[in-house]
Every structure is written in structure tokens, then in C-alpha cells.
Amino acid sequence: MPSEIKIENLSFSYTPDKPVLKEVSLEVKAGEKLGIIGRSGAGKSTLLLHLNGILAGNGTVRIDETKVEKKTLPLIRKKVGLVFQNPDDQLFNPTVEEDIAFGPLNFGLSREETAVRVRQALKTMNLEGLEKSVSHHLSLGERKRVALATVLAMKPDIIAFDEPFSSLNPEMVLQIINIIGRLDATLVIVSQSLLPLLSCCSRLAVIKEGEIIADGPKEKIVRNEELMKSSGMDMSFYREIFRNYF
């Protein structure tokens, strides 16, 4: 079942003199679909990497009542699945089915149960027939779906997406939107593709220079033109196109 996320006063730096996250506090309710927007380099992806302990900054991240720390990582990584922006960072086995099976087998599931999960993930992601294919020989859209299938096979309570719509054609974007809409999990989605993101999320958080500067219902956030412009997500661009050409 979906889990909740609670982040308190999280700070992080890759180098001592350049903070990437600054005292970030954020809560996501169980089953909620949260979108995170902001300019490139604002700290969005860095924030995601704290949810399952790939990065560890100063502050606290909790999944339900469990603090994300070294000793809890096996449990946390069962609960939290992360879908990377570049699927090639996630796919490293010879075939599609082996990529999808890796997670469940690594966490001790039997081969029989793993096979069931692989079939379910393939069906959900419209990948049936590609089981024996070499993942890196597939199209980008197919590889993105395989990467998500590797996460779905783990049946996580939380799924975090880093730019799931980037570099996809409109048909593939629509497929991903529909798949995300059917997921029974708490979702956190980082994206600069604003319109697809709005189709998936009910709430938006805006991050700027490592700080959450706004958080609320998507309708309220996108109607704040000054806020959207300052975060690199200028909606007036779309209005001008429709006003001038349609």
C-alpha cells in the first residue's frame, strides 16, 4: 500500500562551498501524486536521490515511520523505487526479462514469484513480446518503459520519477501519462515538461536554488505567473502561441 514521505530540514552539498539543497522540508501523503518543478540545477534530482538513500545529507527523511539511514536501506529500497531520467543508468542485464527480474531476485523472492512479477510488469508496460530482447537495442521510449518495469516488479509503496517525459514523442508521452495514472503508489515526479506533469499530479512544489519556494494545488501554482517565470516554467509562452496562431 502507498506510504507517506516526510522530509525535515534537509541540506546537501556535493562540494562544501556550493549547497544544492538548503533546509528543505516537504511532506507527501500516502497515495498522493506530487510534481516538483524548477530550473535545471535547482536541486530536483538531488532531492529524489535522498528518498531511497542514494544520497545522504543533513536533516531527516522518513518513509512512514522509518528514517532513511544506512541500517534501514534494505527496507527503504523495498518501499521506494526510483526511475532515472536516463534508462541506460538502470538497465545492465543481457535481456529485458533479466533486467526486470534483477530486483525481486536480489531481495530474496523465489524464481517462481519473480517470474509472476516479471509477467505482470511486462503487461503493465506494454512490453509483452520483448522479454528476450537486449534492452540497449530498444528505442528510447521502450527503454524508459523497461526501466519503469524494473521498478514495478518490486511493487514499491513509493515511486519517484526523474524526467519521465523527456525526449519522448507525443504518443509515448501519452502512454506514460496513462500508465502513471493507473499506479497504486505514492508518486513524486520531477519534470520540466509541464503539461504532461499537470496531467499526472494534483499538487506541485517549486524548488529554486535548493529551496522549496512554493507548494500547493497545481491550479494555484500555475496561475501565479511571477512564480512560474522565476522557476523557469513560464506558462505565458503557451498562452501566446494559442492567442496568435489558433
pTM for the predicted model, two decimal places: 0.91
Q: What's the average model confidence in pLDDT over 27-31?
A: 97
Looking at residue 234, what is its pLDDT? 75
Confidence of residue 242 (pLDDT cuts 50, 70, 90): confident
Q: What are the φ/ψ torsions at residue 108 (nearest 5 degrees)? A: 90, 10
Looking at residue 21, what is its pLDDT? 97
E-assigned strand segments in the chain: 5-15, 18-28, 33-37, 58-63, 66-67, 80-83, 158-162, 186-190, 203-208, 211-217
- Render pLDDT for 146-189 as a digit per residue (tens, 0 to 9): 999 999 999 999 999 999 998 888 888 998 999 999 999 999 99
Confidence of residue 7 (pLDDT cuts 50, 70, 90): very high
How many CA atoms, within 13 angstroms, populate the side-chain half-sphere of residue 18?
Answer: 5
| Lowest mean pLDDT across 22-31, 41-50, 112-121, 220-229 | 220-229
Confidence of residue 16 (pLDDT cuts 50, 70, 90): confident
Looking at residue 231, what is its pLDDT? 83
Q: What cell numbers appear for 117 in the block?
A: 512479477
SS3 220: helix
